Amino acid sequence: MKITFCGAAQSVTGSKHLLEFNGKQILLDCGMHQGHRKESEKLNREFPFNPGELDAIILSHAHIDHSGNLPGAVKHGFSGMITSTFATRDLAAILLPDSAHIQKYDTMYLNKKRKRNGLEPLKPLYNAEDVTETLKHFMSIPYDRAFPLFPDVSLRFIEAGHILGSAQVELTIQENGTQKVVLFSGDLGRPGRPILKDPDTGADADILIMESTYGGRNHGKREEALRKFSEIINGTFESGGKLIIPSFSVGRTQEVLFYIHELVTRNEMPPMKVYVDSPLSFDATEVYKIHQECFDSQMRDHLYSHRSPFQFEGLHFIQGVSESKALNHDESPMIIISASGMCENGRILHHLKNNISDARNSVLVVGFMAQHTLGRRLVEGEKLVKIFGEEYSVEASIDVINGFSAHADSDALVNYAEEVGSTAKSIFLVHGEPDQCKILADRIADRINKTSIIPALGESFEL
């Protein structure tokens, strides 16, 4: 068996891991790389393998950094099955068309500037027709049921607790008269978070491929995060400003709404309107409502008592572009939740462009920001940033709350490695920046006396 790390190796985007055995090629995830524009363009357009030779793609969850280049693979010849949970398929059915839409209009916007500068126009990675063709390849299976993907490969999805439908991927492979269990964690959620079930740590792996996004950092406690959130909301209201929250449309937005609903219920925030400016977020929230098999008991209790956290006074979902633009002319205090989560594309860029140079306003970062993204530059305190190629001074306050992260923190990752990887012959750390991978590797070595491998992009291993 051979494994090649084609994405999310010493970085947190573009998840792609290629398994080769018994003449087969199976790709774990097919994500889009996000970050520095030139580097991302190259990595997203040039596959390090021939998509037409893949026998299957297995999708851990629907976030674009794990699913976003599926249409690119299909466009370049992939004709096999894309296997996922049912909820992941339903989310991909709205995320992928949205990705094509964003590419189309962001490319048009950028090409106007490129034309003025005498540069060649850019082309989107894929279009709506490519997405439609991609969705024909999906095959969904439920959690916790072994499925014979091929005669020599059994697939089981295990709860990952990251976003709706997220799964750990367990492959039981028969090769040369022996059996190997490969476990890919996907992105792991935090135990005790609202809405979703906790990650399942009951599997045993011979080969463990696990994420390390927060390998060297622990999150604050939930109550501390709520207290800080309330302070930021109240402070922004008193200054008469707008609170801009960049947020992934799937997972993070729903959780932020859950916490706002809690603050409203506790009377710990002012009567401030909340706008979710993303048609995708509205659609994703509707998908959440129909997949109650993924909810924890607390969330089910909310729904059964008709106290949905996705419905409260003052909450508005923005659909049209004109409604979105109108928010920029409204001087009243408000909260705007908008995508994309790393501030790389979508409507959030327009809200930042119009509000980031006003000291009355605040920007709240509630998740991980990858290197070379606008979100990361804001977190690192840059005072001059480029948005759509133009420079803007950062006068708004920039706040960070890691307590809302949908990723397991360092302690949870070490516990996971101990639970599922104590008998593993190989542990690979992916989906993390080098410093986070190194800290996690050291902590795993201390806990279970095993050496973890931190693969480089494109590196292969014979197992």
365: CATH:
3.40.50.10890
192, 298: one domain: no
* Rounded (5°) CA angle 323-326-327: 100
- On whether both 396 and 424 belong to a single domain, the answer is no
The predicted pLDDT at position 341 comes to 64
CA distance 369 to 351: 18
Instruction: Give yes or no: residues 321 and 184 share one domain.
Output: no
Measured distance CA(386)–CA(393) in Å, rounded: 9
Cα 428 from Cα 269, distance rounded (Å): 44
Q: Which two tokens stand for residue 189?
A: 């959620």
Same-domain pairing of 17 and 104 = yes
DSSP 162-214: SSTT-EEEEEEEEETTEEEEEEE--S---TT-SSBPPPP-----SEEEEE-TT
CA 310 and chain centroid, separation: 20
Q: Do residues 326 and 363 both lie within one domain?
A: yes
Identify the CA nearest to 237 among candidates 309, 314, 311, 310. 314
Computed on alpha carbons and rounded to an integer, the radius of gyration of the chain in Å comes to: 22
Q: Which range of residues forms the domain containing residue 201?
A: 2-217+406-462
C-alpha to C-alpha distance for 248 and 280, rounded to whole angstroms:
10
How many domains does the structure of the chain reveal? 2
Q: What is the pLDDT along the chain (463 residues), one digit of tens a residue?
A: 999 999 999 999 999 999 999 999 999 999 999 877 778 888 898 999 999 999 999 999 999 999 999 999 999 999 999 999 999 999 999 999 988 988 888 788 778 888 888 888 888 999 999 999 999 999 999 999 999 999 999 999 999 999 999 999 999 999 999 999 999 999 999 888 888 999 999 999 999 999 999 999 998 888 888 999 999 999 999 999 999 999 877 878 888 998 999 899 899 999 999 999 987 878 888 898 889 889 888 888 777 766 677 778 889 999 888 999 999 889 999 999 998 767 777 788 999 999 999 999 999 998 777 777 888 999 999 999 998 888 999 999 999 997 787 899 999 999 999 999 999 999 999 999 999 999 999 999 999 999 999 999 999 999 9
Q: How far apart are the first and last CA of the chain?
A: 5
List CB contacts of 117: < 8 A, sequence separation 6 or more.
none
Look at residues 356, 386, 404 and tell me which one is the last residue of a structural domain: 404
**Residues 380 and 439 both lie in one domain:** no
Q: Among 404, 426, 450, give the residue marking a domain's end.
A: 404
What pLDDT does 46 receive? 92
Q: Which residue type is seen at 145?
A: R
Both 422 and 436 in one domain: the answer is yes
Query: Tokens 């018994």 — which residue?
Result: 22
Q: What is the pLDDT of residues 314-336, one digit of tens each?
A: 899 998 889 999 998 899 999 99
Q: Are residues 359 and 433 in the same domain?
A: no
Residues 246 and 334 in one domain: yes
Both 144 and 32 in one domain: the answer is yes
Q: Which of 366, 384, 404 is the last residue of a domain?
A: 404
Query: Are 227 and 280 found together in one domain?
Result: yes
Q: Are residues 61 and 194 in the same domain?
A: yes
pTM comes to 0.85
The predicted pLDDT at position 306 comes to 65
In angstroms, what CA-CA distances link 23 with 134, 150, 154, 192, 458? 24, 12, 16, 42, 20
Looking at residue 96, which CATH number applies to its domain? 3.60.15.10
